Structure 1
Amino acid sequence: MSSISTLINKDSSIEILKALIGFDTTSYKSNLSLIEAVKSLFESHSIFVIVDYSEDRNKANLFASTGPIEAHGVLLSGHTDVVPANKDRWDSDPFIADERDDKVYGRGSTDMKGFVACAIRIMCQASQQKLTIPLHLCLSFDEEVGCLGVRNILPKLPTLMKTPRFFVIGEPTSMQIAIGHKGKAVYQAHCSGENGHSSMAPNYRNAIHVATQVVASLVDSQNELARSGQRDDKYDIPYTTIHVGKIQGGTALNVVSDSCTIDYEIRHIAEDSLDTINDIINTNLQKHAYSQYANIQFMNAYPGLSTSHEHPELKFLKSLLSDDTTVGKIPFGTEGGLFSQTFDSPIFVCGPGSMEQGHKPNEYVEISEMDKCDLFLENLLKQLQ
């Protein structure tokens, strides 16, 4: 594979993207080869860069900065990990970029190595300019499995830079501006039963039957929230949602199951508190006979994002984009909510591509979207000089 350092000399975010796709950074794998390549590139441009390793040193975040450290700058943010790709369902190798039909195909092309490529390009260009306002870049790991990696570097960022004027999280929004998204909490319900022969099934408690009562309580709670919960009409689905994503239990058809687990998530609007939602779920669960045999455990969460529509930096950001740029909210989560817990700065989500293409076979980003992102970042760079 060509090095990113060589590719950047072509001044092309498309070529950088192709190189990034070539790094298989599926979340359960290491991202170190990508991070080390970006680090070497930035060091060759005299850009300040640190690598923030995970505890097992198998993965890492990266922070880079160029410009005067004493000033309040702008931070660009992206994640380096991607979701798994089943090669049998792709028309081309998901980890070899394929440019055709004015698109670049490959895992992560939209979510979100397209933006990362544009950000790398603009950081290198910025390093050649005399800036009065610094430009920062933060790249993270394990965003796709719960925004885990960025939590490792967040406490260190205030020592590396002054509070930024604003953040741009480059998740795919078709280059529109998002100022909010729902928070997410993940839970696992452990349902217990008793092993026995299926010919005598009524004599035993079936863990799968316990699980069905948990699912029923979650469905009832979802219906209640949709009917009478808080609403935010800026979302396509304007209420808090509860989703069961996985059920696992049983060993054989003729064996009564003694164990079953359910993985479910809550995606909540800002006006709904998790405590209230969990109270609703628990109340509905208590209506079922087997409720005492379900043990619900909290697994992971990230907060929602809510940036004021009246913030003056929003007007500045819009001035860097096309005249028809819209402002709204997105259904998927980002690391923005976590940044907002550390910094009192406005946080915007804006990046090339559409999440309609994310997490699917034959994922792609349109080259025209990459061009729009390049122009946006070039306009931003002019304002930092």
Structure 2
Amino acid sequence: MSQFPTPRDMLKKLISFNTVSDRSNLALIDFVEEYLAGLGVTSVRVPSEDGTKASLHARIGPALDGGAVLSAHTDVVPVEGQNWSQDPFTAWEADGRLYGRGAADMKGFAATVLAKVPDFLSADLGRPVHIALSYDEETGCTGVSPLIADMLARGPKPDFVIVGEPTRMKVVSGHKGIVVLKTHIHGHPVHSSQLHRGVSAISAAANLITWLDARTAENKAGAEPDCPFDPPYTTLHCGVIHGGQAHNITAGNCEFVTDIRMLPGESADDWVAAYRSFIESEVLPDMQAVSSQCRIDVTEMANVPGLREEEDGKAETVARRLTGDNARNVVVYATEGGIFQAHGLSTIVCGPGSIDQAHQLDEFIELTELDRCAAFLDRLTADLSQIDS
């Protein structure tokens, strides 16, 4: 029996760390750092501003430009409100599956990569393998940009990135972007019998949400027939709303949260600018005509670019060669892939497990998916052992 952990062993260990996004991930980072150090691999931490979390990156192989980044996020979504069969942070196996929070999304990929470190070390790599583990992907992909900047500043520069989100090891070459906005409307409360003297924040919110819905309808009507995304257009959606005090008071406050899921190549800034312009020109003047104290505050909570399909991209070329997958695969959820690409790195998404299990009660990954990922990494190792790869 090998002295090194298998992907299954490593996944059980990673699941044991409760890295829900509102908690610290430092215990997991400590473990990974110590594990790599025990194998003679030096890693670099990139802490969050408040020091409660950290990303980590490491290089295995020669200090040469080129090679691959294997990227995963360490945070997971909450389990509250889900009636799990067993403790979600103590992995268990049944019927060829391994269960636990993060099993599919996306500690399965991180575990397989870490378990393969001894093989990376024993190979005669012509180009390096870079391991990149981030924090706070689930809350807006805020941890990965400082990680990428630190990696690139230290060098060497990698050729391409594989983001191991669950795709059943299919090669995903494009995904939508997302911008998340919180809109807080300050109205002017009066008794509803004197409605004309007040400004209802709820009514203003309804006006804004109607505008969002109308933009989605326009996008649907103008969708390109050959667009590979489902749906094949940008969507604008209000998912949360709170407001009002009583039925007989015009609402003094209303707050709602919107996500805009953009086709790759569309600008989040353009969409936000259009929304703000509608507020400033069509909504706010009527409110302030009643009370100058009325205002609308828009806060950007997340902004993640889409992943564009690359023409002759290195990441896609290598991944297709190693997987044999030549289908055109795109997804509508966002990943850190678009951020790597925005930093000038060729990127695809390819990892074990199914997105259908992400965020779910009794989340699981099929053990055969870990095997497929391990085999893929073996082929990548052999590929990087070619000095002219």
- Asked if these proteins are the same fold (TM beyond 0.5), I'd say yes
SS in 2 for 1:205: coil
2:84 to 87, 90, 103: 90
Task: Tell whether the 8 Å contact from 1:176 to 1:327 is kept in structure 2 after alignment.
Answer: no
Alignment of 1:185-264 (within 5 A): 185-198=179-192, 200-201=194-195, 203-228=197-222, 233-264=227-258
Aligned to 1:107: 101
Deviation at 1:215, TM superposition (A): 0.9
Deviations 1:199-235 (A, max 9, x none): 5555432211211111111111111111126676111
Aligned to 1:339: 340
SS in 2 for 1:221: helix
Deviation at 1:53, TM superposition (A): 1.2
Q: How many residue pairs were aligned?
A: 377
Alignment of 1:262-301 (within 5 A): 262-278=256-272, 281=275, 293-301=295-303
Moved more, 254-263 or 207-216: 254-263
Task: Tell whether the 8 Å contact from 2:178 to 2:268 is kept in structure 1 after alignment.
Answer: no
Q: Is 1:376 matched with 2:376?
A: yes
Change in CA separation of 1:231 and 1:270 when aligned onto 2, cut-off 3 Å: farther
Identity %: 34
Which one-letter code corresponds to 1:83 in the other structure?
V
SS in 1 for 2:114: helix
Q: Is 1:365 matched with 2:359?
A: no
Aligned to 1:3: none
Structure 1 spans left out of the alignment, 5+ residues? 1-6
Task: Tell whether the 8 Å contact from 1:215 to 1:244 is kept in structure 2 after alignment.
Answer: yes
Task: Tell whether the 8 Å contact from 1:47 to 1:64 is kept in structure 2 after alignment.
Answer: yes
In structure 2, how many angstroms separate the alpha carbons of the residues matched to 1:15 and 1:232?
A: 44
In structure 2, how many angstroms separate the alpha carbons of the residues matched to 1:201 and 1:27?
A: 43
Aligned to 1:318: 320
In structure 1, how many angstroms separate the alpha carbons of the residues matched to 2:314 and 2:136?
A: 32
Structure 2 spans left out of the alignment, 5+ residues? 289-294
In structure 1, how many angstroms separate the alpha carbons of the residues matched to 2:160 and 2:58?
A: 16
Deviation at 1:44, TM superposition (A): 0.4
Moved more, 200-209 or 51-60: 200-209
Aligned to 2:291: none
Change in CA separation of 1:283 and 1:228 when aligned onto 2, cut-off 3 Å: farther
Which one-letter code corresponds to 2:306 in the other structure?
G
Aligned to 1:61: 55
Which one-letter code corresponds to 1:228 in the other structure?
G
SS in 2 for 1:267: strand
Change in CA separation of 1:338 and 1:247 when aligned onto 2, cut-off 3 Å: same
In structure 1, how many angstroms separate the alpha carbons of the residues matched to 2:17 and 2:215?
A: 42
Task: Tell whether the 8 Å contact from 1:123 to 1:135 is kept in structure 2 after alignment.
Answer: no
RMSD: 2.4
In structure 1, how many angstroms separate the alpha carbons of the residues matched to 2:9 and 2:42?
A: 23
Task: Tell whether the 8 Å contact from 1:71 to 1:132 is kept in structure 2 after alignment.
Answer: no
Moved more, 26-35 or 117-126: 117-126
Change in CA separation of 1:177 and 1:294 when aligned onto 2, cut-off 3 Å: same
Q: Give the TM-score, by structure 2 length.
A: 0.89
Q: Give the TM-score, by structure 1 length.
A: 0.90
